[in-house]
Structure 1
Amino acid sequence: MLKLADKVGAAGYYVVVPDLLDGEPFNPQNSDRPFPAWIKDHGPVEKGAEATKPIIEALKSKGVSAIAAVGFCWGAKVVVELAKSRLIQTAVLLHPSFVSLDDIKGVDIPIAILGAEVDQVSPPELVKQFEQVLAAKSGVASFVKIFPKVSHGWAVRYNTEDAETVKVAEEAHQDLLDWLAKHHK
């Protein structure tokens, strides 16, 4: 993910990557800490969105007038919460988790959603429903794309030795950058 943050920074954006997981990313190989226990301590709304608000306020106090947020998996829910609160002006979600149709109904800022064809967390059918909700909102710019033959996490967790997975991840990265270039002023 830091390599992608570097790409965004190289495109001319000031990038902040807060550790909203307090140094404890979920590790599926850790049987001592199953997902339900981990998520209880790392809820995206309770921990992520709330922890991000002071960062946004600090940026604004330094004169930053437009803030975009990009969320992967768990972070997508954080970004949606910030969007619904109008604390950001542009949003990008990649392989979202915990995002509901009601969440998307509450978004009225430019938003891009990049999903995976093979995703149990946000299956293509749900992502298509997001697209329908957004398409019905006149005046709200949106872009929704489902990447074929990839699974949840493909944009940041991929085999750098596999040319095809690198190509698809780079396509998603370019879509993210294109969205920011078009909607983040």
Structure 2
Amino acid sequence: MAGAQCCSNPPTLDPNSGAGSVEQLGGLSTYISGSPNSKFAVLLVSDVFGYEAPNIRLVADKVAAAGFFVAVPDFLYGDPFLLNDNRPILDWLKDHGTDKGLEDAKLVVEALKSKGFSAIGAAGYCWGGKVVTELSKSTSIDAAVLLHPSLVTLDDIRGVNVPIEILAAEIDEITPPALVKQFQEILAARVHEVDSYVEIVPKVAHGWTVRYNADDEAAAKSANEARNKMLDWFFKYLK
């Protein structure tokens, strides 16, 4: 995850972006979008740039428009990675481990369950992909989606216990296609244990689903296609 791709094309953070609102959930400041009367919730776990990135909030709003209650917590406690603060990504990661992210995610899931949602899905981007993979080793969530994940190992995939979709990039030094193909082989061998779908999306790079320029029509189209595949997965396994 220490490669340049992890931090390429960083977003301009905006705490006021999105159509939703920021509330407390599971002890964390959380961007909320969608009706609390929905029966189905989706947890989005961001990359290292955090929950104020406009594109992940746009994803939340689009998923909410499809009938889900969506939560994007601030797992980074107001300290997202910034390229201009002279702090190397490896130093930043020491203070923002995915193990802590997992602990917090479990609390958020419990908070969602306490609100009465009958099914909960989780999607993770880059750093968040590791958190969601760890969540998927239990049955605390009902479906998982990993989008250009980082830090995920073969043993992690062997431990997955819920339906999982992996959308990976063809151009990815962090989780390269060769590793993703191994993920696919492991899941294919477990076809009678857990449903899965793995795709290496051609001509896109790590981060393509949330770190793109909205004025770039081709990039936006690829991101929208990934979001729709994620939505289809949640429709299939949550509703």
TM-score interval (norm. to shorter): over 0.9
State the superposition RMSD in angstroms.
Answer: 1.1
Gaps of 5+ in 1: none
Which residue in the other structure is 2:70 paired with? 15
Provide the C-alpha distance between the structure 2 equivalents of 1:148 and 1:26, rounded to a whole number of angstroms.
Answer: 28
For 1:18, the aligned partner's letter is: P
Gaps of 5+ in 2: 1-55
For 1:67, the aligned partner's letter is: I
* Aligned 8 A contact 2:127 2:149 in 1: yes
How far residue 152 of structure 1 moved from its aligned partner, in angstroms, is 0.7
Q: In structure 1, which of residues 43, 48, 58 is the aligned counterpart of residue 101 of structure 2? A: 48
- Structure with greater proportional helix content: 1
Which residue in the other structure is 1:78 paired with? 131
2:222 is the alignment partner of 1:168: yes
Provide the C-alpha distance between the structure 1 equivalents of 2:118 and 2:68, rounded to a whole number of angstroms.
Answer: 13
The residue matched to 1:67 in structure 2 has which SS? strand
How far residue 10 of structure 1 moved from its aligned partner, in angstroms, is 0.4
Provide the C-alpha distance between the structure 1 equivalents of 2:115 and 2:214, rounded to a whole number of angstroms.
Answer: 37
* Aligned 8 A contact 2:165 2:196 in 1: yes
2:211 is the alignment partner of 1:157: yes
Q: TM-score, normalised by structure 1?
A: 0.95
Highest RCO, 1 vs 2 (Cα 8 Å, sep ≥ 6): 2
Aligned residues, how many? 183
For 2:67, the aligned partner's letter is: G
Which residue in the other structure is 1:87 paired with? 140
Pairs within 5 Å for 1:33-44: 33-44=87-98
Which residue in the other structure is 1:179 paired with? 233
Pairs within 5 Å for 1:100-115: 100-115=153-168
2:191 is the alignment partner of 1:127: no
- Structure with greater proportional strand content: 2
Q: TM-score, normalised by structure 2?
A: 0.74
* Aligned 8 A contact 2:138 2:161 in 1: no
Which residue in the other structure is 2:152 paired with? 99
The residue matched to 2:73 in structure 1 has which SS? coil
The residue matched to 1:115 in structure 2 has which SS? strand
How far residue 158 of structure 1 moved from its aligned partner, in angstroms, is 0.5
